[in-house]
Amino acid sequence: MSAGGNEALKARLIEIIKARSFQSGKEVKLASGRTSTYYFNMKPTMLDAEGAHAIATLILEAIAEKKPDLIGGLEMGAVPLAAAVAAVSQTSARPINAFFVRKQAKEHGTRSLIEGLPAGDNLKGKRVVIVEDVTTTGGSAVKAAEAVRAEGAEVVGVVTVVDRQEGANEAFAAAGLTLTPLLTLEDFKA
Domain boundaries defined on the chain = 7-188
pLDDT at residue 160, as a whole number:
96
User: Is the CB of residue 117 less than 8 Å from the CB of residue 123?
Assistant: yes
Backbone angles phi, psi at 142, to 5 degrees: -65, -40
Angstrom distance (rounded) from CA 121 to CA 152: 12
The single-letter DSSP state of residue 118 is P
pLDDT band, residue 33 (cuts 50/70/90): confident
Top pLDDT among 147 and 108 is at: 147
CATH of 7-188, one of 3.40.50.2020, 3.40.50.1360, 3.90.550.60, 3.90.226.10: 3.40.50.2020
More confident residue, 99 or 29: 99
Strands 97-101 and 179-184: unpaired
Instruction: Give the Å distances, CA to CA, from 145 to 13, 76, 113, 123, 156.
Output: 26, 15, 12, 12, 10
What integer is the mean pLDDT of 86-100?
Answer: 94
State the alpha helices, DSSP H only, in 64-129: 78-89
174-181 mean pLDDT: 94
- Which bin fits 119, alpha (ψ -120 to 50), beta or left (φ > 0)? beta
State the pLDDT at residue 17: 98
* Cis amide prior to 42 (ω within 30 degrees): no
Question: How many Cα atoms occupy the beta-carbon half-sphere of 119 within 13 Å?
Answer: 2
pTM above 0.85, yes or no: yes
Percent of the chain with pLDDT over 90: 71
Q: Which one, of 143, 13, 121, 12, lies nearest residue 77 by Cα?
A: 143
pLDDT score for 1 = 43
| Total length of the chain | 190
Q: Is pLDDT above 90 for 189?
A: no
Lowest mean pLDDT segment, chosen from 26-40, 54-68, 120-134: 26-40
Return the number of other C-beta atoms located less than 10 Å from residue 70's C-beta.
22
The per-residue pLDDT for 31 is 75
Chain centroid to CA 95? 17
Residue 103 has pLDDT above 90, yes or no: no
| pLDDT confidence of residue 32 | 73
Number of Cβ atoms within 10 Å of the Cβ of 8: 8
Separation CA 108–CA 154 (nearest Å): 28
